[in-house]
Amino acid sequence: MVPEHTGSRATRIVGLLTLIGLVSVLVLGLVVTAPDEIQGDAARLIYVHVPVAIVMNVGFFVTALGSAMWLWKKSRWWDTIAVASAEIGVVFTALALATGMVWGRPTWGVYWTWDARLTSTALLLLLYLGYLVVRRLPSDAEVRNRRSAFVALLAFVDVPIVYYSVSWWRSLHQTATLSINTHIHGLMLFTLMLSMVVFLLAYAWMLTHRFRLAWLEEETESQGLEVAISERRAEAGVS
C-alpha cells in the first residue's frame, strides 16, 4: 500500500539519526564545550551559524546543478530537485543572516553593518527569493522551467562572491572558520564538525521530503488544469 505522506523507510532512518545528532549538538554546544578565551560564550553560536551557512551553499549548488541538468536533459526530476533545494537554501540563508546578526551584536557591537560578507549574503537571499517568485509566475511548464533554470544559474554567481568576499574586501567578518591552519581544536572542533554533518543530514532529509512535496504539488496542479479544461469544454458543448 502506498502511504499518504511524503515519508519512507529511508527518510525515517535518516530523520531519526538527524534528531539524535541535533540533540547531541545542543548538549555539546550549549553545555559540554568550554567558552572561547576571547569571545566567551557568544562563540557557542559557531556551532549553528557555520553549519547553517554550509547548508545554504550546498542547497544553492544543488539548485544550480539541477537547473543545468534540466537544461541538458529536460527531465522533470532535475527541475523538481532544483526548486526543492532552492526553497531549503532560502530558509538556511535567512537563518545564516539571523544567527550572524545575533552573533554580531556581542562581538562587533552592532546587529548589522554593510560589510561585504553580510551584503552579498543579503543579496543572495533576494536573488533566490526572486527565483521562487519566477517559479510561481503563471506559464507553460517548459517555459517556467527554462526561465527559472537561467535565473538559478545567474543567481549562483553570487555564491562564490559570498565565500570570497572576506578575502577580496576588507571585512569585519572573520575569514574561513576551517582551514589548514585552523585555530579551533579539541572538543570545539569535534562539535563543529559533528554539527556540520548533522545539518547536512538534516538537509538531505528535508530535500527528500520537499522533493516529494513539489512532485505532489505539480500532480495536483495538472489535475486541476485537466478538470478546468473539461469544464470549459462541457460549457462550450465540445465533446
Partner 1 sequence: MTDAGYVIAGYSIVFGSLTLYVVRMLLRGRSLSKQVPPEDRRWM
Which lies closer to partner 1 via its Cβ, residue 27 or residue 157?
A: 27
The β-bridge partners of 40 are: 36
Among 28, 45, 118, 196, binds partner 1 (CB under 8 A): 45
Q: Does 160 bind partner 1 (CB under 8 A)?
A: no
Taking the C-alpha atoms of residue 220 and residue 227, their distance in angstroms, rounded to an integer, is 10
The reply on whether position 75 binds partner 1 by CB under 8 A is no
Task: Choose the binding region for partner 1 from 23-31, 56-64, 67-75, 161-169 (rule: CB under 8 A).
Answer: 23-31
Q: Is 213 in the site for partner 1 (CB under 8 A)?
A: yes
Length of the chain measured in residues? 239
Name the grid cell of 104.
554580531
Query: For 229, phi and psi rounded to 5 degrees?
Result: -65, -45
We find the least distance from the C-beta atom of residue 139 to partner 1, in angstroms, to be 22
The span from the CA of 3 to the CA of 129, in Å, is 32
Cα 199 from Cα 191, distance rounded (Å)? 12
> Please, which residues have CB within 8 angstroms of residue 158's CB and are 6 or more apart in sequence?
120, 123, 124, 127
* Cβ burial, residue 238 (10 Å; 0-12/13-18/19+): exposed
Is residue 206 near partner 1 by the rule CB under 8 A? yes
* From 62-70, 97-105, 149-157, 178-186, span contacting partner 1 (CB under 8 A): 97-105
Q: Is residue 117 at the binding interface for partner 1, with CB under 8 A as the rule?
A: no
Contacting range for partner 1; rule: CB under 8 A; set: 64-72, 136-144, 169-177, 217-225: 217-225
Q: Are 149 and 68 in contact (CB under 8 A)?
A: yes
Nearest to 4 by CA among 235, 236, 216, 223: 216
Q: Rounded to the nearest whole angstrom, what is the least distance from the CB of residue 40 to partner 1 in the complex?
A: 4
CB of 57 to partner 1, least distance (A): 16
Taking the least distance from each CB to partner 1, the nearer of 22 and 71 is 22
In the complex, the residues that contact partner 1 under the rule CB under 8 A are 1-8, 22, 26, 29-30, 35, 40-42, 44-45, 48-49, 52, 91, 94-95, 98-99, 102-103, 105-106, 202, 206, 209-210, 212-213, 215-217, 219-220, 223
